[in-house]
Structure 1
Amino acid sequence: MDTIRVRGTVADGFEKVRDEFAAAVTAEPGLGAQLAVRLAGRQVVDLWAGPGVTGQSLFALYSSGKGAAYLVVALLVQDGVLDLDRAVAAHWPEFAAAGKGDLTLRDLLAHRGGLIGVEGGFSAVELADDRLLAQRLAAQRPYWRPGSGYGYHAFVIGALIGEVVRRVTGRSIQEIYAERVRAPYGLDFYLGLPEALETRYVPVQPARGGGQGAPAPDSLTGIAFNLNATPPTDLVDFANTRAVRALGPTSSGSVGNARGLATLYAAAISEMDGRPPLLAPSTLAEFTKPHATGTDLVTGEPDHFLLGFEAQGVRYPLLGAGAFGHSGAVGAQSFADPGSGIAYSYTRNRFAIGGGGGAQENHRLIAAVLHAIS
């Protein structure tokens, strides 16, 4: 049965990865999922399963787009275009309102700014458009004293850093990503899905049996996930809206597949198609240092972030301390582990039971990958 359900290929020695993937999709009848892994740039796993799903199918991958946005920022820092320790307001004067004048780009990337949302929440139109989000956020007072703690800026971090990028370069993160990363490597991962590719989009589904109870709308978690809006944001409806996929808000509106994300992270750390790694060793060292220790005020997760990227070595202790990447709300997980040379991406078209990024099967899948290379 597994050979019928699971399609694709694995390199010699990675057969147990296929077995774990088969177990994961068998445990959730009707689930659409993909798994792609590269080792030192070479593809070693390319699997998919589920009704109507192929290796080219495109899923709503929510916060996975943050990883692409952080990669763009890292490239601009590497180029000397952006200074991590310069005040945001030096580029974006309106941002200085409500006591935010001293916040730096580094503060934003480390989720230390306290600017997780706005009073009364965002409209659906605003959530789909990074420019509109930035306009609302410029006047907002932080929800905690900047630097006194950190918390996941779920819907807004891309708009915040994106406005800095726009003010400095005159271009959006989406445009720079497409030019410098997506197009050169032929990535099937989009911050703004062209209408011509809509036929490959597989709509996202709610969690089987429903999700967990929602946090209080006026809690930090509720505000960060726009539950203080009227109506509160429904993540399934949000991603299944064409306007969101077309505009590609960097925090929440990415669309793509496992192949695309695995190749993105492989390109960041490995030679690919004769090209050197996108990130120089010094840049990689800067962006993979822990920048936020303690407990995330929004998610409750310990030691959640490096610089922008999630600290994947904390979430998955089998990985190296410098493993960096980002999850997506459906349970997707993607990262690079410079120590082992792995670039990994697991994607799915249904919210995982229990909600949140990084569905539980990632632990078993990652362990199987690491066992294959040991």
Structure 2
Amino acid sequence: MEGRCDERFAAVRAAFEENFRSRGELGAAVAVRLGGELVVDLWGGWADPGRTRRWERDTVVNVWSTTKGATALCAHLLADRGLLDLDAPVAAYWPEFAAAGKSGVLVRHLLSHRAGLAGLREPHSLADLYDWELTTARLAATEPWWEPGTRSGYHALTYGFLVGEVIRRISGRLPSAFLAEEIAGPLGIDFTIGLPEKAADRAALLVRAPAEAAVGAPLPAEPSPLFLAALANPLVGPDEANSAEWRAAELPAANGHATARAIAELYGIVAGRGAYDAEHRVLSPASAERIREGQGACRDLVLESGFRYETEIGLGLWLSGRTASYGPNPRAVGHDGAGGSCGLADPEADLSLGYAMNVMGYQIADDPRKMALIEAVYDSL
């Protein structure tokens, strides 16, 4: 292992090392900020399945849905500036969206996965997904799968287009540019939506875990049409995410590339109640608090088989709640990425965590590697 770890958090180093010994880790990094200070910054292993490139301090990797936290921050920054009303109809900013009975869908429904648009009903190819105008036009024209606002259903890929188009309509910029120019760039946070060509040589390659790792994974035996629309239209995995086309696309729900340190820094804005550190404030405390404004616990309509308990989504991030997905504080929030990556923010502890890896596990959420790291962090406090 390389990097640094405060002695107080020695248990995190031990858990990270155990991930390599017994939990199938190939290459990974973990970072923890406490009170705005970096107290854990560890990395190790290999950036490629052939074990020819070491995982370095600046290695980035596709973090899948951990990207959603960054996209939500962009929306909340617009709201903080008075440019976006989270209680306004989406159609107030995106008039075409009112089609097919969606005139009453609110911006908060997009942020909390309650818009009923978890997936498209018509076949949507990878090439279609890479076409921003086509994908947003199809979402604007389609009808919801359920009554918007009543239940949550995980918007795995559509989230980025829905929230992202509102960001674009207001700011004139796609989420990748908005994030770079308004948050990540000014603060020096190594988190991008998509991957610039100049950074390609430091990107880790994703790889699927061995088939035996799928045993006991909480996936439905008979996927519903909604599940398939949300998670398999189109179906994407490591091969797609390693491609130049995926890296070049605008996918604000799924193709963020970051170091673990950058994830901890970005989610640290929420943990710091809007402040990045003592000198830099991104959001007002009230706006930062809104991110974790619960919208009602329920069995998620898409991921209902993936959790033992009901879950609750705030306005952009998931509450730790009864599942303790983000530690023992039920008011802590975070977001997992497919295969295991994670960002966590706990304002009560002024704590944030970032975890990134290249071996993708089979859990829908709460990968054992991530959970071992979170348990070690809280045991260290």
Q: Do Structure 1 and Structure 2 share a fold, with TM-score over 0.5?
A: yes
Distance 1:133 1:214 in 2: 27
Equivalent pairs: percent with the same residue? 35
Residue identity in the other structure for 1:325: G
Residues 196-211 of structure 1 aligned to structure 2 (within 5 Å):
196-209=198-211, 211=214
| Other-structure match for 2:376 | 368
Let me know the Cα RMSD of the aligned residues: 1.9
Structure 1 runs not aligned, ≥5 long: 1-5
Paired residue secondary structure (1:304): coil
Contact preservation (8 Å) 2:318, 2:335: yes
Of 166, 169, 174 in structure 1, the residue corresponding to residue 168 of structure 2 is 166
| Cα deviation, residue 134, structure 1 | 0.9
Task: Please show how residues 272-351 of structure 1 align to structure 2 within 5 Å.
Answer: 272=276, 274-300=278-304, 301=307, 302-316=310-324, 318-351=327-360
Change (3 A) 1:358 1:30: closer
Cα 1:177–1:344 shift into 2, 3 Å: same
Is 1:116–1:156's contact at 8 Å kept on the other side of the alignment?
Answer: yes
State the TM-score, normalized to the length of structure 2. Answer: 0.90
Residue number in structure 2 paired with 1:3: none
SS state at 2:99 partner: helix
8 Å contact kept, 1:216–1:222: no
**Cα displacement (A) at 1:217:** 6.2
- Contact 1:87–1:102 (CA under 8 A) maintained in structure 2: yes
Q: Which moved more, 1:311-320 or 1:276-285?
A: 311-320
Cα deviation code 1:98-133 (max 9, x no counterpart)? 110111101111211111111233110222344332
Q: Within 5 Å, which residues of 2 pair with 1:1-374?
A: 6-29=1-24, 31-51=26-46, 52-209=54-211, 211=214, 216=222, 219-225=225-231, 227=232, 229=233, 232-270=234-272, 271-272=275-276, 274-300=278-304, 301=307, 302-316=310-324, 318-352=327-361, 354-373=362-381
Contact 1:193 1:248 in 2 (8 A): no
In 1: Cα distance, 2:311 partner to 2:220 partner:
23
In 2, Cα distance between equivalents of 1:273 and 1:115: 36
Determine if contact 1:204/1:350 at 8 Å carries over to the other structure.
yes
One-letter code of the match for 1:278? V
Aligned length: 363
> Once the 2 structures are TM-superposed, how far is the Cα of residue 28 of structure 1 from its aligned partner?
3.8
Q: Distance in 2 between matches of 1:319 and 1:128?
A: 38
Alignment check: 8 A CA contact 1:288 1:322 kept: yes
Contact in 2 for aligned 1:311/1:323 (Cα 8 Å)? yes
User: Displacement of 1:38 after TM fit?
Assistant: 0.6
Higher mean C-alpha deviation, range 116-125 or range 211-220 = 211-220
In structure 2, distance between residues paired with 1:329 and 1:215: 19
CA deviations over 1:273-295 (Å, ceiling 9, x no partner) = 54244232211222212113111
Rounded to whole Å, the distance in 2 between the matches of 1:292 and 1:131 is 32
Gaps of 5+ in 2: 47-53
